[in-house]
C-alpha cells in the first residue's frame, strides 16, 4: 500500500511539520518506508506533532530495511512547554538506533529530537 509500492524510489523527503500526527499512524508508515529498498536518501520531518514515542520503533525497523541508505535526516523536535507537541520520552530510542545501525552504507546522519522528554538514561539505549 501507499509509498511502499514505490520500489524504485531512491530519494524521499517528506515534511509533516506542525500537524496532528500521533504515534499510532507512524507504525504503518514505517512499514511502507521499509519496502522502499532502493532508497539512498531519506528525510522525514515530524516536528511539532503529537508523537509520544510508542510507535517510533516501527519507523526504526522500516529504516533498518533500507540497506542502500547513505543519507538520513530525521526530525522529531517538539516543544515540551506545550503539552500538545511531540513528547518523546526515549523508550523507543533503542529500536530507532538498531534500525539506523543496520544501514551499513550510511555516510550522513542528522537526528533532531530537541525539546522532547528524553533523559540521559534513555539516551543510552540509542547507542
Nearest Cα to 44, choosing from 71, 68, 19, 73? 73
pLDDT (tens place) for every residue of the chain, 127 residues total: 688 899 899 999 999 888 887 777 777 888 899 999 899 999 999 888 877 766 777 888 999 999 999 999 999 887 766 666 777 766 667 778 889 999 999 999 999 988 877 766 666 666 6
Q: Residues 103, 64: contact at Cβ < 8 Å?
A: yes
Contact present, 60 and 23 (Cβ < 8 Å): no
- CA dist., res. 89 & res. 68, Å (int): 29
Model pLDDT, residue 122 = 63
pLDDT of amino acid 22: 74
CA angle (82, 127, 64) in 5-degree steps: 90
Grid cell of 2 as nine digits: 501507499
11-15, strands of its sheet edge to edge:
11-15, 41-45, 71-75, 108-112
pLDDT for residue 41 = 98
At 28 the pLDDT is: 83
Amino acid at each position: 500500500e501507499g509509498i511502499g509500492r514505490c520500489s524504485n524510489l531512491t530519494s524521499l523527503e517528506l515534511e509533516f511539520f506542525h500537524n496532528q500526527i500521533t504515534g499510532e499512524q507512524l507504525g504503518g508508515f514505517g512499514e511502507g518506508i521499509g519496502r522502499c529498498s532502493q532508497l539512498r536518501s531519506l528525510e522525514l520531518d515530524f516536528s511539532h506533532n503529537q508523537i509520544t514515542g510508542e510507535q517510533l520503533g516501527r519507523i526504526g525497523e522500516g529504516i533498518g530495511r533500507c540497506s542502500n541508505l547513505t543519507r538520513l535526516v530525521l526530525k522529531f523536535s517538539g516543544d515540551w512547554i506545550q503539552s500538545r507537541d511531540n513528547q518523546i520520552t526515549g523508550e523507543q530510542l533503542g529500536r530507532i538506533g538498531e534500525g539506523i545501525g543496520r544501514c551499513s552504507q550510511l555516510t550522513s546522519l542528522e537526528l533532531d529530537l530537541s525539546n522532547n522528554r528524553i533523559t540521559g538514561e534513555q539516551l543510552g539505549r540509542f547507542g
